[in-house]
Structure 1
Amino acid sequence: MKNKLEKSEAYSEHYVDFSIVGVSGTQELFCMQFLANKPTPFVENATKDGDDANIQIGVGSILYHECTLYMGKDQLEALYETIGKNLGK
């Protein structure tokens, strides 16, 4: 009897980075991009010998764009201050 492996849909997410870029010449509007690095399984190698199968599974990474926020300079400064105050607690 052969057991079928069900595909897992519950991967852990590892947020790796975000960037802040000025998008206006006056630096009054900023763009924040959030990225996620998600481990994704894939078949590295598969061989078959008669009724026997040998499958090697690996894990790779796929970088996903999660969201983009556009924020005015005043809003970004307020966010920065709020984060700083809460980290100091």
Structure 2
Amino acid sequence: MKATVTVMLKPGVLDPQGEAVRRALHSLGFEGVEGVRQGRVIELDLAAQDRAAAEESIRAMCERLLANTVIESYRIEIA
């Protein structure tokens, strides 16, 4: 089973990397970009066969390691 975890900064948390990308895009002539938020994507290959158990396990991974839940949110997709 494959899973994808997308981790993003929560709304309201400053995103200096996103701001740097926005400025770089403007310098390249992409003036229509008003905001950029940068995050990360983590792909997991799981041995689990039970979707519910896999999701529970991934949530525990996110809460304990993959995301700083004070300033980040995460989204899980299981295929």
Class of the TM-score when normalised by the shorter of the 2 chains: under 0.3
Q: TM-score, length-normalised on structure 2?
A: 0.27
More strand by share: 1
More helix by share: 2
Q: TM-score, length-normalised on structure 1?
A: 0.25
Relative contact order higher in (CA < 8 Å, ≥ 6 apart): 2
